[in-house]
Amino acid sequence: MSGLEAHIVVRRDEHFEVEVELKIEPGQTVVLLGPNGAGKSTLVECLAGIVALDAGQIRLDGVPLDDSERGVFVPSEDRHLGIVFQDYLLFDHLSVTDNVSFGPISRGVDRRAAHRLAQDWLEAFDLDEMGDRRPPELSGGQAQRVALARALAAEPALLLLDEPLSALDTTTHARLRRMLATHLDRCAAPRLLITHDPTDAFLLADKIYVLEDGKVTQVGTPDEIRRHPATSYVADVAGTNLFSGICDNGEITIVGTEFVLHAAHTGTSGPVLATVHPRAIALHANEPHGSPRNTWRATVEAIDPLGDITRVLLAGPIRIAADITPAAATALELRVGGETWVAVKATEVDVSGA
């Protein structure tokens, strides 16, 4: 079997155990999404060869990297990995070009060809004028782009990205996410991105694994995760409604529709991402009047009870999910195929650069 297959069991202490079964095909981006303390970094450390398994095995392209029963453990430097952490870990004594060409040279590419390859990746990440600089001279966003270029230039057998965007400011985060979305497909290897940010997960993943308390609680495509959350955590963070649009003076025309979503306090113009949390959406039996600037009629597509909330999937000018109380769902007499009014305040529409 090509790609990554792993059954990872690690006991961090007597009270916490990480147990994950993971499969990533070549050229596939899997995102591991979970809260802080869920065990995400432990999983990366196991795949990277920093921490040995207590039980289970890791196979990459059919070759065992760690097998607790057979006593196999391949050290990190022999796993042919591309790894990016949130703190960059660049070589301060080398130039940017030499940092990026380090991987190709290590696998036997001659220096001139490695430098050409490095220049290609630096151009891809808008760093073509930074080649002679040293890492201490770079901003955080520039350093992280160098780290990503270095990992991809190495043409790894497995690409590991551990919270690569979390330390960046909002504008830099969005810009680098766009670059990742553009360039990840140039890597033919299995790709694993670790994040706690659902927007990163939805925009970059082919498949999402949700990790809570050391265990996988849900696996699916971004659309499957959004539409059918399996736990309250998933409902809370992965239920976020995400729309691509064009913003003009606070009016966002949603891509592929003529629907306009009104947002407050935005100086952004041009392509944007608009997010609305399901809890910020109110449903009404009749057309609402008053402060909400966004109101429209929608058809109920699905009703999913999730403990103390009910997730209502709505079709209309845009598809959106709302979280209401079970009592409200009963009072509104909601039914699949029935109609309801939707209201969203402009202040509840979050906007960032696309």
Which contiguous run of DSSP H or E holds residue 190?
none
Two tokens, residue 42: 């432990």
Provide the token pair at 323.
Answer: 């979280």
Which residues 6+ apart lie within 8 Å of 91 measured at CB? 98, 99, 102, 135
Which pLDDT does position 249 carry in this prediction? 85
Distance CA(309)–CA(331), nearest Å, equals: 14
Instruction: List the structure tokens of 158.
Output: 């497995």
pLDDT at position 265 is 67
CA 111 – CA 132 distance, rounded (Å) = 16
pLDDT in tens, 219-234: 999 988 877 778 878 8
Per-run averaged pLDDT (10 residues), the chain, 354 residues = 92 89 97 93 94 96 94 93 84 95 92 95 92 93 91 94 84 84 91 91 94 95 83 78 88 93 80 88 91 91 85 93 93 95 93 76
Burial class (CB in 10 A: 0-12, 13-18, 19+), 247: buried
- Which alpha helices (DSSP H) does 1-139 contain, by range? 40-48, 96-106, 111-124
Separation CA 106–CA 104 (nearest Å):
5
Structure token pair of residue 94: 């080398």
Q: How far apart are the first and last CA of the chain?
A: 37
Q: Are 194 and 116 in contact (CB under 8 A)?
A: no
- How far is residue 95's CA from residue 136's CA, in Å, rounded to a whole number? 10
- How would you class 245 by CB atoms within 10 Å of its CB: exposed for 0-12, middle for 13-18, buried for 19 or more? buried
* Residue 93 DSSP SS3: coil
User: Domains in the chain, ordered, with CATH?
Assistant: 4-232 (3.40.50.300), 241-353 (2.40.50.100)
Q: What is the reported pLDDT for 266? A: 64
Contact 9, 54 (CB under 8 A): yes
- Tokens encoding 352: 């960032």
